[in-house]
A and B are shown apart, each in its own frame.
Chain A
Amino acid sequence: GAGVSQSPSNKVTEKGKDVELRCDPISGHTALYWYRQSLGQGLEFLIYFQGNSAPDKSGLPSDRFSAERTGGSVSTLTIQRTQQEDSAVYLCASSASNYNEQFFGPGTRLTVL
């Protein structure tokens, strides 16, 4: 079956603009995660969803970042008033439950000019 998909694959935006990043998890996966990976760096946890609720938002770096998940499926990560330091690859992962293997999407590369 299809894996985790993310769109767009690349996004170039100007400083100050808002961006929306989309994640389509594997069908039936209840847990969904967003991570940020800066060039050559590790995986920075942003937020985790179980169903449509977010038990852990501790990783969101500022109030410019928000995420939602609807219908227990698609999730959108929104970054308002983007800054250059927001440039990174944003990865989404899903799993059958929080205790299972996480399957990652290919990521969205965000470049803020």
Chain B
Amino acid sequence: QQQVKQSPQSLIVQKGGISIINCAYENTAFDYFPWYQQFPGKGPALLIAIRPDVSEKKEGRFTISFNKSAKQFSLHIMDSQPGDSATYFCAAHGSGNTPLVFGKGTRLSVIA
């Protein structure tokens, strides 16, 4: 059972444009929502994360928007650059000894 659904599977954005990746979760016990970025041949690395007590978190060009009632959260990449081309994974975590649950990933390509 997939607990975090991520879309789209792939995304092509023009340089300077906005990239938007969406995730939806089912388990209301989740209370930590990170996004990971993975370049080819590398392991994923934490990009930005949010907890449900806020509706938005911004770090540089990266913003997470969180809608607790809809059980959805999204990653926005402003002024997308070719160097942002990577696979992005959303994830969710609940309390206790449970691991992160990952979405299936979005392959982003930013073209000049």
| Chain A interface (Cβ < 8 Å from any Cβ of B) | 4, 33, 40-43, 45, 48, 50, 55-56, 91, 93, 98-99, 101-107
Contact = CB atoms under 8 A, between A and B. Distances in A.
Contact of A106 (B43, B93, B102, B105): B43
Interface of B: 32, 34, 36, 41-46, 49, 89, 93, 95-105, 107
Contacts of A56: 97-99
A45 B92 CA distance: 13
Contacts, number: 53
Given A42-B89, A98-B97, A99-B93, A105 B32 contact: no
A106 B41 contact: yes
- Secondary structure dominating the interface of B: loop
B72 to A, nearest CB: 18
Q: Which 9 A-B pairs have the closest CB atoms?
A: A104-B43, A42-B104, A55-B97, A43-B102, A48-B99, A42-B105, A101-B46, A104-B44, A106-B43
A110 B84 CA distance: 27
A55 B96 CA distance: 10
Nearest to A95: B100
Given A42-B105, A99-B32, A106 B42 contact: yes
A39 B34 CA distance: 22
Nearest to A48: B99
B20 to A, nearest CB: 19
A33 B99 contact: yes
A99 to B, nearest CB: 7
B110 to A, nearest CB: 19
A99 B32 CA distance: 8
